[in-house]
Structure 1
Amino acid sequence: MTQQFTLQYPAWFILLCLLLGIMLSGMLYYKEQRFRSEHSWLPWLLAFLRALTIAGIAFFLLEPLIRNVKDNIQEPIVVIAQDASESMVSDMDEEGVASLTAKAQALKDQLEIKYDVRSFSFGSDIQEGLVDSFTQKVSNLSNAMDYVEQNYADQNLGALILISDGIYNEGRNPVYNIDHISAPIYTIATGDTSIRTDLTVKGVFANSIVYLGDKFSIQVDVQAFNCNNQNTRLRLYHEKESGRELLEEETLRIDSDNFFTTKEYVVDASTPGTNRYRVTLSPISGEVSRSNNYKDVYIQVLDARQKILLLAQSPHPDISALSQIISNNKNYETEIKFPGDAYNLADYDQVILHNLPGKNSDVTGTLVQIKEKKLPHIFIVGSQMNIGAFNEAQDLITINSNGITLEEVNPAFNNNFKNFNSSEPLRSKLASFPPLIAPFGEYSLVSNAASYLYQNIRSVETDYPLITFQEKSGIRSAVIVGEGLWKWRLFDFLQHGNYEIVSEVINKTIQYISTKKDNRKFILSAAKNLFKENESITINAQLYNDNYELTNEPEVFLSLYDQNGEEFKYTMSRTNDYYTMNVGLLPPGSYRFSGRTNHNGQEHNDNGRFSIQEIQLESFDLQARHDVLTALAGGSDQLYYPENADALASAILEKETIKPVIYQNVKTQPLIDLKWIFFILLAMISVEWGLRRYFGSY
């Protein structure tokens, strides 16, 4: 480390500082006679100390700096990135795998003689060091390039060596990363680039979510190479716990060496939950791999569709508008009825009463059944509503009105409403929608009411509710004060070309009142219903005391069952105020789990299911992509093969551009920060003062 002295002013200012010290010291001691009688040298010593002190203090006014310069030598880094995916060794035996790993390790050992060598393996994620097993389920070359860029961009990266077959089935094209890495890229190409005989279920496509009782299609893409004039049997199975059910079967005639076809099958969604369907192709002779002759697809079949009864006083444009809005949501289906029609409330999950109870319709029996069956319900108050009967039918809102006089009301948001969120377009645009028609009068609410929208009457915002909610005895209900929702729907389409804003208002209202509160004290759940086989499985549990406060005092015992019925037992770990259990990686298949605990002498149980999907990406594309590796290396000159890895090591060792880099760390600090200088000045002042006192002066 070297030190350099610098000033903020010209160097000749130092002479001025010395001159200032000499002048002031001379003025004090030139004619001083008291010390000459003691010793002839004493005035000269005192004058010297005083001059040096004054000059030193003046010198610091020039803001002198010290620069500490330290040279750091960074040796060049060579990074070896090894593809650890299954496709790397798909056509190798154990001897071939051992040879490949040995060559990679030998390359690293050779380069470590001269360079700082770092290595990692990649697939679905990054692992430090080279590996001798190739088990990664995906190939993500761009992730490896991103890792190099993020970790070595600011270091002396001399070279990147990529050992891969060039196949990537996740992430973007790695060629796009070339510009982000300044060091030369060398590639060691593995795998076979020839087109070999292979039959593949290239893809299986279906909606991931369907509803119970619906029909849905499964599309199957089949591809074959060098299989001309051969036949295969395509089968579609429904994999159930009770066994495999064959749904479709047909023979495919392969009529070219580059064959591709698409088949589509319509399937009934008959079983709720996660359903696994498997497409298989019977093998043909000479295939390079049979692991890609099948493919699974998982479908979530929901038994959550709710049936909504639209019960109206009489035909009205609102009814059609509501029916169309609700029917566009696959979670709901609607039926329109009038008081004289036959209907059974047991067939419905929710009821919307439009202008009921009406002036000419007695629906007392229906209202009683709604309360008895604890059905969520919505009242829409309009011109045909019997206000007195309405006030008696519910206790959420009381309207003091003659039921004859009506007025126009516009919507205004209640900023204190927190039960659910509204999108920004809804909040900014709803106020411009046409007014609804509501009874003129005074409105009062119960204390537990939550108003979503208020009435804006002739540009005056009131606290009268337009849409308000209540939860009582576990049942949620709502009141919409005003008819004319059909005008909102038409206006929404006229202004925006869609029905998104009015649909959000109606759907969120319906969704909120239909959501049932979960009063269970013990809840056991997996992180999700469908995992990939390279994902760790986490199961969580929550236990509530009598005040519905989270607690994790007692032990929770977890049992996990695979599709063969084998049981695995665990004791869940306590984390904060809940429980969790990471059971790690599991083989593909369907699993069920159950948990139990005992709290305050009461036994609690819960259960659930999840499925693990096999990742087959590494089985579907076995043709090595050496063209990708050539592009990454910037040409064939930097493309090598495992057989000539020694030549690669020699080329890198002899490359003159890969050399150490010297970095200078410069630290600048004011000279006045050095404490020892302060003590020197203090010492000189003290010595001068002490001598003057000793020899009889002040």
Structure 2
Amino acid sequence: MNNLTIIYITIAAITALLLALFQYLYKSKLKSNLKYVLIALRAISIFGILVLLINPKFESFTYFDEKPTLVVAVDNSESVSYLKQDEKAREVVNALNTNSVLKDRFDIQTYRFGKTVNTLDSLNFNERQSNMALALKQFGEVYANQTAPIVVLSDGNQTYGSDYSYIAKGVKQPIYPIILGDSTVHSDLSIKQLNVNRYVYLKNKFPVEIIANYSGTEAINTELKIWSGNSVVFRKNLQFNASKSSEIVSTALMANSVGVKTYRVELVALDNEKNKVNNIKNFGVEVIDQKTNVALVYDRLHPDLGALKKAIESNEQRSVSILSPKDVLNKVNDFQLIILYQPNNNFNALLKEIKAQKINTFIISGATTSWSLLNQTQTYFKQAITNQTENFQPSLNRNYGTFIVENLDFNSFPPLISEFGALQISVPHETLLYKSVNGITTEDILLATFEVDATKHAILNGEDIWRWRAQSFLNTNSFSNFDEFINKLVQYLSSNKKRTRINIDYKSFYNGNDDVIISAQYFNKNFEFDNSASLRIKLKNKDNQSVREVPLLLTNGNYTVDLSGINAGLYDFTIKHNTESVSASGSFQILEYNVEQQFLNADISKLKSIATHSNGAAYFSTQTKDIINALVSDNRYKTIQKSTKNIVPLIDWKYLLGLIALSLFIEWFIRKYNGLI
């Protein structure tokens, strides 16, 4: 309570007393001592009311002790068990959790991490990828305002995500790696990296780049081979020694037939080599007959052009040519799809040629689009012309069923500039995105697709789509989700394939550690999306003829099944409805590769590096007592006494209101009883 409030309360007390004295002493006919009781009661009532008007605030403090948090995170990936450190990891975790001195000093929070981070309920060391960078980043954010040293049990071999030594620099907490592994150096050959395009073209040569590594001190000779089935298609002799520990091998292979082709790269193992798994790596390519050619036609330079070209060409099956209307006019038949960017009067001849040749189109409008031209040259849609623009955000139509849309947070995307007024499409169509204004979704079309006269078309009613690609990167640190969305739209528009009641989305082949997720959409007889369907996938391994059936689950508007973890091999699958004779089939191949089995030793130098930069310390799994003593004796991790300050206004104190009411009632009763009223 400050001094000014005390002065106000003092003035209120004096005022209350003076008013009470004035009422019961000045010209009062009451002669008995009862008047002093009435003066006191009236003074209390007036003083209480005035104090409520002043409403002083009272402070109270609650004191408590806060122990520092000890974060214990365990690498639950397969590489730990492959290095035979799984039992040692369990022993260390148990020792940390059960040490009484450590429990008295810290609030211990335990986690396990692989590709994701979870609380520690059990350890099985069967996760196929490890992402220590994600674990350190999340711990750094959650415990940013606390005293919380981080103990990480790991071999330091990360197979997914950003470099954890870089992420660790942004973590304010000290990091204590407990190294699961030894420092013994064994002679080892390994294929460090293999670079190859996913798609190649028939009768063309495709490049393959291999980085071969050697760890050891002796001079050795080996041979690198590339196998296609039982045939060696490339071989080269390699020499390594203590000063030459790696070599880049480049070659080109011929694509002779269409389809998925698999190859095996092998480094001939040394006689005394301990880990031979990392000497072999499989890779696959999909041989296609031709590229999908897309024309991106413009009459005005804009960042959207570059963003669209980058997004479409992220799929190696597609090629984009950025052309003016005049340049593309005489070769429209060279393209499977023509994107018309903000058509104006210079597009008049091209629009007529496209209509005559029945070419698929994707129209993108904006501030400089000539809607009068578009309204006149076709009868499929019509835009109300207001000569005014507005900013509209996208709102996804979850019932859109022409192709599968997922992985994009449209609600976070910035608005597009669009013509103010409704776009009316007069032919059967599906709206993919609606316009949203101030968080309210309207019925106006932002992006829609339709089919007419054996052609497919889409219209995006807004410019600045490059901002969407940038926002997608900010959301996920990757352009891939946005690029995949654009490529699905382009794939639909550039294909003349008829629509089916079950759409499926999958890849032709997966690497051994990829997530194998297959998505599907099911439509009723009116081609309306059915979110109550019961779908199952029948999966057949063509190598051993084994068959399994798994139900598909409805997730984010699509039916999906996660087949991650199944054995390498060639698979056929059929997705069918449980009660209707509707199905869709496909095939894919999983290449044998386990990234967690590529390591021979723990990455000791990197683990020690993050400990040094964070003012922590690194220990081996045999030094459990040492790390416990170091944590307990470190003066940075002392219990802190904290206080909570509570500010309570007097108006919340119910007893004062009761006192005012009671004093007024007693005063009234006394006066009534003595005939003064």
| TM-score > 0.5, shorter chain as reference | yes
Partner SS, residue 278 of structure 1: strand
Mapping for residues 124-203 of structure 1, pairs under 5 Å: 124-129=115-120, 132-157=123-148, 159-178=149-168, 180-203=170-193
Q: State yes or no: 1:105 paired with 2:90.
A: no
Secondary structure of the residue aligned to 2:582 is: strand
Letter in 1 for 2:608: T
Task: Note the residue ranges of structure 2 that are not aligned, 5 or more in a row.
Answer: 296-308, 322-327, 386-418, 420-448, 459-486
RMSD, matched Cα: 4.7
Following superposition, the deviation at residue 643 of structure 1 comes to: 2.3
With over 3 angstroms needed to count, the CA separation of the structure-2 counterparts of 1:598 and 1:448, relative to structure 1, is farther
2:535 to 534, 556, 562: 556
Q: What is residue 414 of structure 2 aligned with on the other side? A: none
Distance 1:450 1:233, change over 3 A: farther
Q: Structure 2 matches for 1:289-368, cutoff 5 A?
A: 289-303=275-289, 305-306=291-292, 331=318, 354=330
Report SS of the residue matched to 1:203.
Answer: strand
Provide TM-score, normalisation by structure 2.
0.69
Q: Counterpart amino acid of 1:261?
A: E
Deviation at 1:290, TM superposition (A): 0.1
Q: TM-score, normalised by structure 1?
A: 0.67
Q: What whole-Å deviation, never above 9, does each CA across 1:248-282 have from its counterpart, x for those lacking one? A: 14251425343433333322334444433221122
Partners in 2 of 1:386 and 1:646 — Cα distance? 82
Structure 2 CA distance for aligned equivalents of residues 511 and 608 of structure 1 = 17
CA contact (8 A) 2:70 2:108 kept: yes
Q: For residues 16 and 386 of structure 1, what CA distance do their matches in structure 2 show?
A: 90
2:23 paired residue number: 28
Unaligned runs of 5+ in 1: 1-5, 239-243, 310-324, 335-351, 357-369, 397-417, 432-440, 454-460, 462-468, 479-506
CA contact (8 A) 1:523 1:541 kept: yes
The counterpart of 2:74, out of the listed 64, 78, 82, is: 82
Matches of 2:536 and 2:608, distance apart in 1: 55
The residue type equivalent to 1:142 in the other structure is A
| Mapping 1:352-431, distance limit 5 Å | 354=330, 420-421=363-364
Q: Does structure 1 residue 634 correspond to structure 2 residue 612? A: yes
Residue 67 of structure 1: CA displacement? 1.8
- Corresponding residue to 2:235 among 250, 253, 267: 250
SS of match in other structure, 1:523: strand
How far is the alpha carbon of 1:568 from its aligned partner?
0.7
What secondary structure, in the 3-state scheme, does the structure 2 residue paired with 1:29 have?
helix
Q: Which residue does the alignment assign to 1:14? A: 9
Whole-angstrom CA distance in 2 between matches of 1:120 and 1:638: 20
- Looking at structure 2, the residues matched to 670 and 552 of structure 1 have their Cα atoms a distance apart, in angstroms, of 54
Q: Could you tell me how far 1:298 is from its partner in structure 2?
A: 2.9
Q: Give the 3-state SS of the residue equivalent to 1:105 in structure 2.
A: helix
Q: Compared with structure 1, are the counterparts of its residues 268 and 118 closer, same or farther at alpha carbon in structure 2 (3 Å cutoff)? A: same
**1:261 aligned to which of 247, 265, 273:** 247
Residue 483 of structure 2 corresponds to none
Q: What's the CA shift for 1:199?
A: 1.3
Residue equivalent to 2:570 = 590
CA shift in 2, pair 1:450/1:689, >3 Å? closer
Asked if 1 retains the 8 angstrom alpha-carbon contact of 2:129 and 2:160, the reply is yes
> What percentage of aligned pairs have identical amino acids?
22
| 2:214–2:240 CA contact under 8 A, matched in 1 | no
Kindly provide the CA deviation profile for residues 103-158 of structure 1, in whole angstroms up to 9, marking residues without a partner as x: 3321332122442212223332223228654334444332222122122222342x
Q: Which residue of 2 aligns with 1:53?
A: 45
What amino acid is aligned across from residue 597 of structure 1 in structure 2? H
1:119 and 2:119 are equivalent in the alignment: no
Q: How many residues align?
A: 549
The C-alpha deviation readout for 1:529-563, integer Å capped at 9, x for no partner, is: 55454555433332222321122555433201224
User: What are the Cα deviations for residues 460-500 of structure 1, in whole angstroms up to 9, with x where unaligned?
Assistant: x9xxxxxxx9953323599xxxxxxxxxxxxxxxxxxxxxx
User: Structure 2 CA distance, aligned partners of 1:696 and 1:514?
Assistant: 101
- Looking at structure 2, the residues matched to 508 and 172 of structure 1 have their Cα atoms a distance apart, in angstroms, of 28
- Match for residue 494 of structure 1? none
Are the counterparts in 2 of residues 189 and 629 from structure 1 also a CA contact under 8 Å?
yes
Go from structure 1 to structure 2 and tell me whether the alpha carbon gap of 1:198 and 1:430 turns closer, same or farther (over 3 Å shift).
farther
The change in CA–CA distance for 1:46 and 1:557 in structure 2 (over 3 A counts) is: same
Could you say what secondary structure the match of 2:55 adopts?
coil
**Amino acid corresponding to residue 589 of structure 1 in structure 2:** G
Distance 1:207 1:442 in 2: 40
- Cα distance, 1:304 vs structure 2: 5.4
Partners of 2:111 and 2:118 within 8 A in 1? yes
Match of 1:612 among 590, 593, 596: 590
CA distance in 2, matches of 1:546, 1:153: 55
AA paired with 1:603? S
- Alignment of 1:278 onto 2:264: yes
CA contact (8 A) 1:211 1:302 kept: yes
Q: Report the structure number with the largest CA radius of gyration.
A: 1
The offset of 1:623, in angstroms, is 4.0
1-structure distance, mates of 2:103, 2:7? 54
Residue pairs, 1:392-541, within 5 angstroms? 420-421=363-364, 444-448=376-380, 472-475=452-455, 514-516=494-496, 518-526=498-506, 528-531=507-510, 533-534=512-513, 536-541=515-520
The answer to whether residue 196 in structure 2 is matched with residue 206 in structure 1 is: yes
